[in-house]
């Protein structure tokens, strides 16, 4: 059914669950896995200096490279993209450019304090996606919801 799967990752545990789910979908269909990671550019990002931005870019590259290597070693076709901008906007744009069948993201990502119930990127994707979207919950060990944040 899903021959072309796009998964967004930010290196969080929730994104790891999404990557695993996306990999399983691709394995089942002998399809292609597209991995995207977005360096967010917003007002907060301007507080970082060049050294911090370079470190963020390097770490993001390491995350994506690790995913790509893992799946390529298991015989899955993998493509990747690293972009700058607003994560939901860039994920949707890339999904349209490559015409994927489905987008997969984690329920809660790196910015979980503000949107603990689903995640701001997942929420924006759900509101604006023009193709199926799978939002993967974290494993029981990864859940961040507490009685005070629910």
Say if CB 41 and CB 87 are below 8 A apart. Answer: no
pLDDT at position 137 is 87
pLDDT at position 82 is 87
Q: Which domains can be identified in the chain, with CATH numbers?
A: 4-142 (3.40.50.620)
CB proximity list for 21: less than 8 A, separation 6 or greater: 7, 104, 134, 136
- Residue 142, pLDDT > 50, answer no
Q: How distant, in Å, are the alpha carbons of 21, 47, 53, 60, 111 from that of 102?
A: 12, 35, 30, 23, 23
pLDDT at position 64 is 72
Say if CB 90 and CB 36 are below 8 A apart. Answer: yes
The answer to whether the Cα torsion of 137, 142, 147, 149 is positive or negative is negative
Interval 65-93 mean pLDDT: 87
Instruction: Using pLDDT thresholds of 50, 70 and 90, give the confidence band for residue 144.
Output: very low
User: Nearest-CA neighbor of 82 among 12, 10, 19?
Assistant: 10
**Whole-model pTM over 0.85:** no
Q: How distant, in Å, are the alpha carbons of 1, 24, 131, 144 from that of 12?
A: 27, 19, 24, 12
Consecutive H or E run containing 13: helix 13-29
Give the model confidence (pLDDT) of 50-64 as tens digits. Answer: 566 566 667 767 777
Higher pLDDT, 5 or 117: 5
Give the model confidence (pLDDT) of 86-138 as tens digits. Answer: 999 999 999 999 999 999 999 875 444 444 444 588 889 999 999 999 999 87
pLDDT at position 101 is 98
pLDDT at position 112 is 45
pLDDT at position 92 is 98
């Amino acid at each position: 059914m899903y021959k072309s799967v796009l998964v967004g990752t930010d290196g969080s545990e929730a994104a790891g669950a999404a990557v695993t789910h996306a990999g399983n979908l691709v394995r089942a269909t002998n399809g292609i896995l597209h991995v995207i990671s977005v360096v967010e550019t917003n007002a907060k990002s301007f507080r970082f200096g060049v050294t911090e931005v370079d470190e963020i870019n390097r770490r993001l590259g390491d995350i994506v490279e690790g995913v790509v290597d893992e799946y390529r070693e298991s015989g899955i076709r993998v493509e990747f993209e690293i972009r700058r901008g607003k994560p939901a906007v860039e994920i949707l744009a890339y999904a349209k450019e490559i015409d994927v069948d489905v987008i997969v993201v984690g329920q809660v990502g790196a910015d979980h304090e503000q949107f603990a119930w689903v995640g701001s990127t997942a929420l924006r994707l759900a509101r604006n996606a023009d193709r199926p979207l799978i939002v993967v919950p974290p494993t029981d060990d990864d859940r961040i919801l507490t009685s005070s944040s629910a």
